[in-house]
Amino acid sequence: EAGVAQSPRYKIIEKRQSVAFWCNPISGHATLYWYQQILGQGPKLLIQFQNNGVVDDSQLPKDRFSAERLKGVDSTLKIQPAKLEDSAVYLCASSPKQGRTDTQYFGPGTRLTVL
């Protein structure tokens, strides 16, 4: 079974530029999550989708971050404009709709450096 795919793996941009990340979840997984992991910290949930609807975006800085999940499969996360403090690894995860444990499966992440 293919895992969660993310691209790009690395991105370096100047502050005030825009950037977008892409995620393809595990086939059949209805729920998709975007996390931000700052160096030395645990991941923090930014947004959660159930199919193509938003379940929780309470920690998404909506003035600069946006995310969408078209057709309930792939998702993109955008930052516009980026700030220095956005430097982090952005992790995408997915979990199946059914399942007692609702384990989240993580992708490899995109490491963003904002200069």
Beta-ladder partners of 113: 12
Query: Would you count residue 110 as binding other proteins (CB under 8 A)?
Result: no
Binds other proteins (CB under 8 A): choice among 55, 80, 83, 85:
55
Q: How far is the CB of 16 from other proteins (least distance, A)?
A: 28
Stretch that binds other proteins, among 14-22, 44-52, 64-72, 80-88 (CB under 8 A): 44-52
Binding string, 10-39, against other proteins, x = CB under 8 A? ---------------------x--------
d(CA 80, CA 74) in angstroms, rounded, equals 20
Instruction: For residue 79, give the nearest of 92, 63, 58 by alpha carbon.
Output: 63
- Asked if 55 and 49 count as a contact pair (C-beta separation under 8 A), the reply is yes
